[in-house]
Structure 1
Amino acid sequence: MSPESDGIDDSQVVLYRLVDQESEEVLIAAEDLLDYFMEEDREPPETVTFVRAHQVGRARRKTERAELQVVDRQGATIGAYDIGRVSAAFRPELVPSGADRPDLGYSFLGRTCEYPWAGEIWRQWAAMGRPVEPGEWARHPSDWHESWMHVVQTAWFDSGRSATRYETGGTAVIDGSGFTTGDGFYCALGEAVNGPGGYFGWNLDALFDCLRTMRRDEASPFRLVWRNVAVSQEALGSDFTERVLALFEECGVETELS
């Protein structure tokens, strides 16, 4: 689904679309979104703001089943959020026509995404595509890594992939000197197993699900090389590393520690 043309190549700048899931009508398409990606402990706003709207649906101003889509420069959906009930917080007759790009509010009934840096990461992915070079996640501060994993997981499943292994290389290598948090570990692991921007769990339960699905799908096994594991034990705690290693052993993954 692409925004309706008004003489401007919207696919080059639109980042978000709010869509009614039943009719597939685009309620609004805009360049940015404010007050949706925010810290978990912040008070939810009454409305979120669609910045520089390129398309405003006039037939429907509210719906019970809205989906917020993140779109790339070709207009393809790269991530989506099931929002549910929404309503416009503006009067359609006050929306300017032509090339004007107003900022317009929608009520999401307090629904927000508790990954504050996800919006910035989505913007990068929409402009540049999915990561193709290893280590892009590591170039962000460690407090971005949870948001990075959220974007990875969302994009992974929205693209039709499942919780399993897709790469064919027999050895996955992670370096304990490259991360200091559990989120960083899962960023590194997903990339090592499934390539840049790859997903392979974001907590122990999800990791077990990936390993179990891999076995069920008869995906080719892999060997895990964990370099500088002592650094990981120091940063993440021995309990974390021991539980991860025990899970790999339980699921038949050979590990080499150095």
Structure 2
Amino acid sequence: MCVEVWDDEKPVQWWTLVDAVVVAHQPHPADPARYDIVLGAGVRNEESFFELPAAPRFELFAGTTVAAASAGRCSAVDGLFGTRADPAPVPLELIGCEPAEPLLAALRRPRRSERDWAHLLVLDRRGAVMASRTVGLSITGARPSVLGGALVDITLTDGGDDRPSPAARPVWAQWYQGPPAEPNLWAPYDSQGRAEWLDLTTRAWRAPAPQPDRSGGEHHLDGRFITDVPGLHCAIGEALLGPGRYYGREWNAFKDCLGGGFGVAPPFALTWHDSEIARRALADVVEDPQGRLSYFEEIVQLLERRGVTVLLR
């Protein structure tokens, strides 16, 4: 969830509530039409107050890291304004390292490397880069690897904020043989897994080098598995360019792709099969909190404004 603090005109502060769970709720004593709700959640402070508004308004949003919908508002919030200790670092284990410079230098003098960083590259079986993560080189320890030979296992003091999520592992395993050659292989994953899938498409579209944009013709969008925002963008990318290809991963990126330079540009025709599945699944997902259209409706409207003929079936 996200809690936004508004003054009279705009949000001035917001928090992300991670893994939010409703612990208790009851009617508000002064107004039975309202509720007092207790949430258990991890709290991430996104911005800092310049000054707390004299009469703040609290807006609530719920959803995924890709898109969220309005979840109402409340008159007061307790538990967010206190000073919070930084979370304890979570180590990251690197198994089977074959170290070269500058990693060898960091192993020799780990304390001097506390402010250094490196890219952790994820490779497929041919050595092509599928993904990358940024990690700090503050090293807690190193030892002969459990894999044997001259390899080394290294413990990094803190994996950092860019560490891979558990949802990434099965997606990386599927792409290890190379980008997918069949459609809808993303469909069995949940929203987080589908978001990881989209991460891989952002690199895959660059190789081979993008060809000049194609316009015209008719494309068919398989809507059977579009139950969330990442699924919508997985399906649109496949409909326009083929399996594993990139055509935006959220609203702004999709809008940029329609402007050209990503392989397909309007005008063209798009037949959206089983469109009612996405219409229902995304009915409460709103890109613009002030708008009245759902994410599905906004996408259709954007396509039509850019010169795409959309046929919903």
The reply to whether TM is greater than 0.5 is: yes
User: Would you say 1:46 and 2:46 are equivalent positions?
Assistant: no
| In structure 2, distance between residues paired with 1:239 and 1:214 | 27
Structure-to-structure mapping, 1:90-101, within 5 angstroms: 90-91=141-142, 94-95=143-144, 99=149
Structure 2 CA distance for partners of 1:103 and 1:59, relative to 1, 3 Å: closer
| In structure 1, distance between residues paired with 2:216 and 2:140 | 51
Q: Pick the structure with more strand per residue.
A: 2
Identity fraction in percent: 28
AA matched with 1:181: D
Secondary structure (helix, strand or coil) at the match of 2:161 reads: coil
Structure 1 stretches lacking a partner, 5+ long: 1-38
TM-score by length of 2: 0.57
Secondary structure (helix, strand or coil) at the match of 1:178 reads: coil
| In structure 2, distance between residues paired with 1:138 and 1:44 | 35
User: Would you say 1:256 and 2:299 are equivalent positions?
Assistant: no
The counterpart of 1:133, out of the listed 179, 182, 198, is: 182
Equivalent residue number for residue 73 of structure 1:
125
> Higher relative contact order by CA 8 Å / sep ≥ 6: 1 or 2?
1
Equivalent residue number for residue 190 of structure 1:
237
| In structure 2, distance between residues paired with 1:77 and 1:243 | 34
TM-score by length of 1: 0.68
Secondary structure (helix, strand or coil) at the match of 2:259 reads: helix
Q: RMSD in angstroms over aligned alpha carbons?
A: 3.5
Displacement after TM superposition at 1:144 (Å): 2.1
| In structure 2, distance between residues paired with 1:166 and 1:44 | 48
Aligned residues: 212
AA matched with 2:137: V
Displacement after TM superposition at 1:197 (Å): 0.4
Structure 2 stretches lacking a partner, 5+ long: 1-18, 21-41, 44-86, 107-112, 284-292
Displacement after TM superposition at 1:135 (Å): 1.3
| In structure 2, distance between residues paired with 1:129 and 1:140 | 18
Equivalent residue number for residue 119 of structure 1:
169
Equivalent residue number for residue 201 of structure 1:
248
Displacement after TM superposition at 1:60 (Å): 2.0
Larger radius of gyration: 2
Structure 2 CA distance for partners of 1:110 and 1:85, relative to 1, 3 Å: closer
Q: Deviations over 1:142-182 (max 9, x none)?
A: 5521222222224445x4767x9867883221233322111
Structure 2 CA distance for partners of 1:165 and 1:249, relative to 1, 3 Å: farther
